[in-house]
């Protein structure tokens, strides 16, 4: 198991390096001069040249990348142009807001979607199967921003059960904070349920056709015992992989939902930084999201043998 883990970790290192290079190059392709943004339009040429020298902008791209990557390895992502705050603490503060919403949404979606997909496979071609597959297709087809607006219209404006937009910290008022994140969580887990239901159904159908399932039924086991005691262990592996991908994708793509519900999370920070052309924050957000995505999928890879007994950690 240790060799398996070390091999997967070593495979993740080149991926992180490629992501770092990609983020650096993409930011350098954005038009504009960071020094001019920091000092303003009225800055004189001498001040601009001095700042470019201190930031290393007068060096070649290779030297700039070396300086920047060395700072990244020390946990220094630079300072925000607009607020002058260190980027890393700013990103971490916003990340925990996004992570809380995403983790709750993925947990609820997994708990509801995996059994629903397995039951749909068990009752293949029945009315229940068609209803579940049809519902999953509809949920998967609705864009998250549109689903969020529909929930705002229904629960916020029509029924007035939940606050429309805004955010309250759990440390300030846990009850109010819970009310404010209900609709963002609903938006995410309803959309992702469609993906997970279809995957759980497909993997369960594949397992139910195997010989050992036929043997279990021939021994007189009930259908519920066959489904949950025998089929579940082998059918959950592919769904577990998809759950990891969904988790990483949501952490990287939550900007739309946070913008709709005005949640001050990592996605909203990225959007605001793009409009403000705050290059260090944009670079820090992109790099951090890429790092989280790689780490999440690394953990999924390491835990895969636990959930799928057919795979050995060799």
Return the higher-pLDDT residue of 42 and 250: 250
Mean pLDDT of 202-231: 80
Using CA atoms of 26, 30, 35, 39 in order, give the dihedral in degrees to the nearest 10: -130
Q: Does domain 88-312 fall into CATH 1.10.3720.10?
A: yes
Domain locations along the chain: 1-74, 88-312
Buried b (16+ CB within 10 A) or exposed e, 77-88: bbbbbeeeebbb
Please report which confidence band the pLDDT of residue 191 belongs to, taking 50, 70 and 90 as the band edges: confident
Asked whether the predicted pLDDT for residue 131 surpasses 90, the reply is yes
Percent of the chain at pLDDT exceeding 90:
9
Mean pLDDT of 207-213: 81
Return the higher-pLDDT residue of 61 and 74: 74
Asked whether the predicted pLDDT for residue 310 surpasses 60, the reply is no
Write the CA distances from 135 to 102, 140, 155, 183, integer angstroms. 22, 8, 20, 19
Return phi, psi of residue 140, to 5°: -70, -30
Please report which confidence band the pLDDT of residue 32 belongs to, taking 50, 70 and 90 as the band edges: low
Asked whether the predicted pLDDT for residue 194 surpasses 80, the reply is yes
Q: Using CA atoms, how far apart are residues 265 and 75, in angstroms rounded to an integer?
A: 20
Of the listed ranges 4-8, 288-292, 293-297, the one predicted with least confidence: 4-8
Give, to the nearest 10 degrees, the angle between helix 174-208 and helix 232-253: 140
- At 307 the pLDDT is 63
Return phi, psi of residue 86, to 5°: -60, 140
pTM: 0.82
| Residue 44, Ramachandran bin (φ over 0: left; ψ between -120 and 50: alpha; else beta) | beta
Other residues' Cβ atoms within 10 Å of the Cβ of residue 5? 13
Other residues' Cβ atoms within 10 Å of the Cβ of residue 274? 15
Q: Using CA atoms, how far apart are residues 177 and 16, in angstroms rounded to an integer?
A: 34
Per the CB < 8 A criterion, the answer to whether 256 and 144 are in contact is: yes
Other residues' Cβ atoms within 10 Å of the Cβ of residue 294? 17
| Token pair recorded at residue 200 | 């759980």
Place of tokens 């607020």: 83
Report helix, strand or coil for 170. Answer: coil
**303, burial (CB in 10 Å: exposed 0-12, middle 13-18, buried 19+):** middle
| Token pair recorded at residue 3 | 């060799």
Mean pLDDT of 143-164: 87
Determine the number of helices (DSSP H) and then strands (DSSP E) in the chain.
14, 0
Q: Using CA atoms, how far apart are residues 67 and 24, in angstroms rounded to an integer?
A: 11
Mean of the per-residue pLDDT values of the chain: 83
- What does the pLDDT look like over 267-281, one tens digit per residue? 889 888 888 878 888
- At 40 the pLDDT is 67
Asked whether the predicted pLDDT for residue 60 surpasses 60, the reply is yes
């Amino acid at each position: 198991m240790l060799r398996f883990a070390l091999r997967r970790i070593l495979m993740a290192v080149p991926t992180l390096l490629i992501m770092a290079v990609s983020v650096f190059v993409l930011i350098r392709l954005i038009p504009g001069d960071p020094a001019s943004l920091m000092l303003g339009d009225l800055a004189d040429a001498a001040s601009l040249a001095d700042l470019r020298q201190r930031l290393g902008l007068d060096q070649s791209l290779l030297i700039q990348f070396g300086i920047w990557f060395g700072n990244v390895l020390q946990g220094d992502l630079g300072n925000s142009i607009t607020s002058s705050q260190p980027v890393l603490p700013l990103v971490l503060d916003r990340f925990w807001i996004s992570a809380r919403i995403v983790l709750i949404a993925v947990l609820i979606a997994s708990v509801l979607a995996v059994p629903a997909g397995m039951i749909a496979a068990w009752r293949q071609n029945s009315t229940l199967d068609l209803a579940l597959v049809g519902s999953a297709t509809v949920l998967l087809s609705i864009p998250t921003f549109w689903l969020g607006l529909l929930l705002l219209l229904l629960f916020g404006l029509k029924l007035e059960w939940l606050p429309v937009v805004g955010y309250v910290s759990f440390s300030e008022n846990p009850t109010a904070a819970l009310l404010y994140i209900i609709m963002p969580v609903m938006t995410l887990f309803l959309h992702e349920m469609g993906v997970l239901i279809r995957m759980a159904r497909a993997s369960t159908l594949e397992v139910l056709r195997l010989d050992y399932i036929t043997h279990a039924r021939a021994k007189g086991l009930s259908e519920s015992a066959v489904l949950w005691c025998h089929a579940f262990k082998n059918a959950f592996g592919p769904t577990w992989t998809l759950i990891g991908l969904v988790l990483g994708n949501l952490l990287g793509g939550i900007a739309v939902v946070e913008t709709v519900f005005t949640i001050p999370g990592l996605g909203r920070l990225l959007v605001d930084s793009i409009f403000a052309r705050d290059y260090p924050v944009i670079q820090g957000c992109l790099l951090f999201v890429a790092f989280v995505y790689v780490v999440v999928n690394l953990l999924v890879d390491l835990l895969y043998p636990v959930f799928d007994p057919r795979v050995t950690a060799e």
